[in-house]
Amino acid sequence: MNIDFDLLLDQAKSASEKAYAPYSGYKVGAALLCSDGTVFTGCNVENASYSLTICAERNAVFQAVAAGQRDFLALAIYVDGEVLFPPCGACRQVLAEFNPNLHILYANRLGSILSDLDTLLPQAFTLSEI
């Protein structure tokens, strides 16, 4: 399947507009492409108890899983700002559960970087060895 990263990024940008980010000020959106072409989006939802915050990436993954999807091809992440953030460690680990080679585009107002999860999280934790 050809991955249209421009379309995926547009969907992530739209998702970022729905973010709830009163504490950090960073509105983040994510768009997750499944192998059947379905796209699930998510946004960050912050909480006064910071550890209860959910990142846009995990929000999209959990929505996809709840809909019965497990086979992911690519993820686009957009931060509405001038700082470029790759996925956090927790999001990387959740993504690795489903596809350790996932293509990841992360972007902001100024540019983007295309990478893959194996580069961002080498030697990810797994229980498949047990």
**Could you report the per-residue pLDDT of 51-91, keeping only the tens digit for each?**
999 999 999 999 999 999 999 999 999 999 998 999 999 99
Burial class (CB in 10 A: 0-12, 13-18, 19+), 121: buried
**pTM (two decimals):** 0.95
- Please determine, for residue 1, whether its predicted confidence score (pLDDT) is greater than 80: no
| 3-16 mean pLDDT | 98
Q: What is the pLDDT of residue 130?
A: 57
pLDDT in tens, 10-20: 999 999 999 99
Least confident segment among 19-23, 31-35, 106-110, 124-128 = 124-128
Q: Which of 17, 46, 57, 82 is catalytic?
A: 57
CATH architecture of 5-120: 3-Layer(aba) Sandwich (3.40)
Banded model confidence at residue 96, pLDDT cuts 50, 70, 90 = very high
CB 96 within 8 A of CB 87: no
102 is written with which tokens? 């996932």
Across the chain, mean pLDDT equals 96
Residue 57 among the catalytic residues: yes
Positions of E strands within the chain: 28-34, 39-43, 72-79, 103-107, 112-116
Domain ranges of the chain: 5-120
